[in-house]
Amino acid sequence: MANPLYPDYLPTRPDGYSPTLDVPLFEADEPGTRADPTTPSILKAGATITNITPIIGTEIRGIQLSKLTHTGLDEVAFLAAQRGVLVFREQDFADIGFEKQKEVVKYYGPLHKHPTMGYPAGTGPEFHVVYADEKAGNLRTLLGPHTTYDLWHVDQTFTPNVPSTTFFWVLEIPASGGGDTAFTSLTAAYEALSPAFRELLGGLSLYHTSASVGEVARVGMERALKEAVNTTHPLVIRHPVTRKPSLFVNPTIARKIEGFLPEESDNLLKFLHDHFRSLDFSCRVKWEKGTVVVWDQRAAAHSAVPDFADGERRHMLRMIPYGTKPQPAFPEKFIDSK
Ligand SMILES: [Fe+2]
């Protein structure tokens, strides 16, 4: 196998290092609320804008994320909230260095520190390397035999504050192609439901736990349960930037509706999990050299598409800021389980 294109970004992990999963509630900033929705200036100066579908996803060329002012970064958060996912092409982001990368994403909030995944030597767990090769394996080899490998989720929602404007960029694409990332709109999935059904959902809350499928696969059931951090969030939240209701389901992390009996919870969640991944609300992002994806985790869920061959290298970096604690879309209907 050829040498990696970005050897400085290979994942490392000092022995014994394991920060806590817990992040106590804090007052968070939402930069997207500062943007003027009528005049997104970053889209003016020669940018090429293409919607991936009318419902979700916008591809943008002609803007360098690394060169944006705070006003521009506010607009990125606003547009990501509105469109679910933004795909910035031809970026220099992968080559601007750790400090500058961190400075840009940190603008949106305190950075998530991944408790188990590796980070580039000399940096910290705010840098989450997503890495596959012949030695490290890939998502299929990690999860073992299954018919399919969709793993729709929102990242790390088991804390009171949840991830917001997330940056995910490519360092090396599998040689044969593949390794796309799929996104689905949580706001469009909500809007497609009947008024009568929305009425039911508006009162419910979901139990989120860090003892998720992925975490259990990484560290084992015993350790995942022992270290589990849990919280509840409304099932329908009011998006802090767009103010739209959003179906805040999370198949790998939120698997129990508070107050429901097991069969009621399992069946309602199965319906919602089948519903929200529909092609009606989703899109696939194909990675190119220089692509940076920015998405809002309260507006879109995502799934990897591990369709590249075993042994191929795929090298990515993700950085997550925390936003506000999700609020119920309809406080008058919401039954607070706590
Ligand atoms: Fe994820």
Task: Give the pLDDT mean for 98-118.
Answer: 93
Cα–ligand 1 centroid distance for 195 (angstroms):
31
Whole-number Å distance, alpha carbon 1 to ligand 1 midpoint, is 27
User: Which residues, other chains included, contact 135 with Cβ-Cβ below 8 Å and sequence gap of 6+?
Assistant: none
Helix intervals (H) in the chain: 70-83, 98-106, 139-143, 186-191, 195-201, 213-219, 221-226, 262-276
CA nearest neighbour of 83 among 102, 66, 65, 58: 58
Tell me how far the alpha carbon of residue 299 lies from the centroid of ligand 1, in angstroms. Answer: 14
- Expressed in angstroms and rounded, the spacing between residue 30 Cα and the centre of ligand 1 is 21
Using the structure block, give the residue that is written with the tokens 């949106």.
108
Dist. CA 39 → ligand 1 center (Å): 31
Does the pLDDT value for residue 13 go beyond 60? yes
Whole-angstrom CA distances from 200 to 123, 141, 196, 235 are 46, 40, 7, 10
Instruction: Give the residue-averaged pLDDT of 163-179.
Output: 96
Q: Work out the pLDDT band at 39, boundaries 50, 70, 90.
A: confident
Cα 304 to middle of ligand 1, angstroms: 8
Ligand 1 midpoint to CA 155 (Å):
5
CA 335 to ligand 1 center in whole angstroms: 29
Tally helices (H) and strands (E) across the chain: 8, 16
pLDDT of residue 231: 95
Q: What is the pLDDT of residues 244-291, one digit of tens each?
A: 999 999 999 999 999 999 999 999 999 999 999 999 999 999 999 999
Query: How many angstroms is it from 115 CA to the middle of ligand 1?
Result: 14
Strands 292-296, 165-172: pairing is antiparallel
The dihedral region occupied by 177, where left means phi > 0, alpha psi between -120 and 50, and beta the remainder, is left
| 165 touches 77 (CB < 8 A) | yes
Q: How far is the CA of 45 from the centre of ligand 1 (A)?
A: 32
The pLDDT assigned to 261 comes to: 98
Mean pLDDT of the 37-66 span: 90
Q: How far is the CA of 332 from the centre of ligand 1 (A)?
A: 32
Ligand 1 centre to CA of 329 (Å) is: 24
The Å distance, Cα 318 to ligand 1 centre, comes to: 9
Q: Taking residues 291-320, what's their average pLDDT?
A: 97
- What local confidence, expressed as pLDDT, does residue 278 receive? 98
Distance 154 CA to ligand 1 centre (A): 6
Q: What is the pTM of this model?
A: 0.95
Q: 236 CA to middle of ligand 1, Å?
A: 20
306 — pLDDT class (breaks 50, 70, 90): very high
- How many Å lie between the centroid of ligand 1 and the Cα of residue 196? 32
Q: Which domains does the chain have, with CATH numbers?
A: 31-328 (3.60.130.10)
**Å from CA of 59 to ligand 1 middle:** 20
| Distance in Å, CA 141 to ligand 1 centroid | 17
